[in-house]
């Protein structure tokens, strides 16, 4: 009887053993793990293979307990699967429609969500809650997290190819960054994207201007109108001169009013 998911695949007379392999993605896990948190990658090991999920690659198969870019922490035995390889393939195929290559989200549909779905399909039980607890909490603040971060998986498949084009299935995993959403695969400068659109008063005048600040490829910003960023700071020399004339007129009117008031007081005194 095999007690480990090695060459025997964890097969026993009562079924096939299922393991959850948990990895650390951050050194901070040494402090977070004792209190039930952590940034984890996970994969389901069964029949000598490990199954996981990543952006761009979807559901993939890899070498158990090997994830470059992540540190293996522990293996948890979850139970036994009462089925064979054909039944396992059916379960995996059923999950592909929900866990497609472009469906990945770091906090809403990550490798731990897939592991939980696969284990539930195999044995009708969930994975330990601490594995994905940090993502569950972060989901409450998803609007504050950049989309570029949410769409990338820290661990993923290398498609079984080496740099020379040959087969390299023993590599198992590599750090993987999705490129399906890149705006420009040719390496050229990316198109400017709007960073701000709004209305504001131009200094020295009462009119409002609509401005749009864009980010360019070299990180600089540009404004699409003379009103300046957020609609301010775009006054011209002519507008500043007009403002000075208006201030002089106001001063003259105040002085004339003060003199008229003094004249009335003198008349009333006499």
21-58 pLDDT, tens digit each: 999 999 999 999 999 999 999 999 999 999 999 888 89
pLDDT of residue 215: 43
Confidence of residue 112 (pLDDT cuts 50, 70, 90): very high
Dig out the tokens for 185 from the structure: 């695969």
pLDDT of residue 193: 38
Angle at Cα 81 formed by Cα 127 and Cα 7, nearest 5°? 100
Q: Which helix (H) or strand (E) covers residue 51, if one does? A: strand 49-54
- pTM over 0.85? The answer is no
The catalytic site residues sit at 41, 111
Q: Which residues contact 227 (CB under 8 A, 6 or more apart)?
A: 200, 202, 209, 210, 211, 233, 234
Look at the chain and count its residues: 270
Q: Which residues contact 250 (CB under 8 A, 6 or more apart)?
A: none
Mean pLDDT of 13-23: 90
DSSP 161: B
């Amino acid at each position: 009887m095999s007690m480990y998911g090695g060459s025997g695949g964890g097969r026993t007379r009562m079924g096939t053993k299922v393991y959850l392999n948990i990895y650390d993605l951050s050194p901070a896990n040494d402090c977070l793990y004792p209190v039930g948190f952590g940034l984890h990658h996970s994969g389901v090991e069964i029949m000598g293979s490990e199954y996981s999920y990543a952006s761009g690659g979807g559901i993939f198969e890899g070498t158990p307990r090997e994830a470059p870019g992540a540190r293996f922490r522990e293996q948890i035995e979850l139970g036994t699967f009462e089925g064979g390889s054909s039944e396992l393939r059916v379960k995996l195929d059923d999950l592909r429609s929900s866990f497609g290559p472009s469906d990945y989200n770091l906090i809403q549909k990550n490798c731990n969500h897939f592991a939980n779905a696969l284990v539930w399909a195999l044995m009708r039980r969930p994975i330990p809650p601490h594995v994905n607890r940090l993502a569950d909490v972060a989901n409450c603040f998803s609007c504050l997290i950049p989309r570029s971060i949410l769409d990338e998986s820290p661990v993923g498949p290398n498609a079984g190819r080496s740099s020379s084009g040959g087969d390299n299935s023993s590599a198992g995993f590599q750090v993987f960054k999705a490129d399906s959403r890149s705006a420009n695969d040719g390496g050229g400068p990316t198109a400017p994207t709007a960073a701000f659109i709004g209305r504001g008063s131009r200094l020295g005048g009462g009119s409002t201007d609509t401005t749009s600040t864009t980010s360019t490829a070299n990180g600089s910003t540009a404004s699409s109108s003379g009103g300046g960023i957020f609609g301010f700071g775009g006054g011209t020399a002519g507008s500043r001169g007009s403002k000075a004339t208006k201030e002089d007129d106001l001063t003259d009117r105040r002085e004339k009013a003060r003199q008229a008031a003094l004249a009335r007081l003198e008349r009333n005194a006499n």
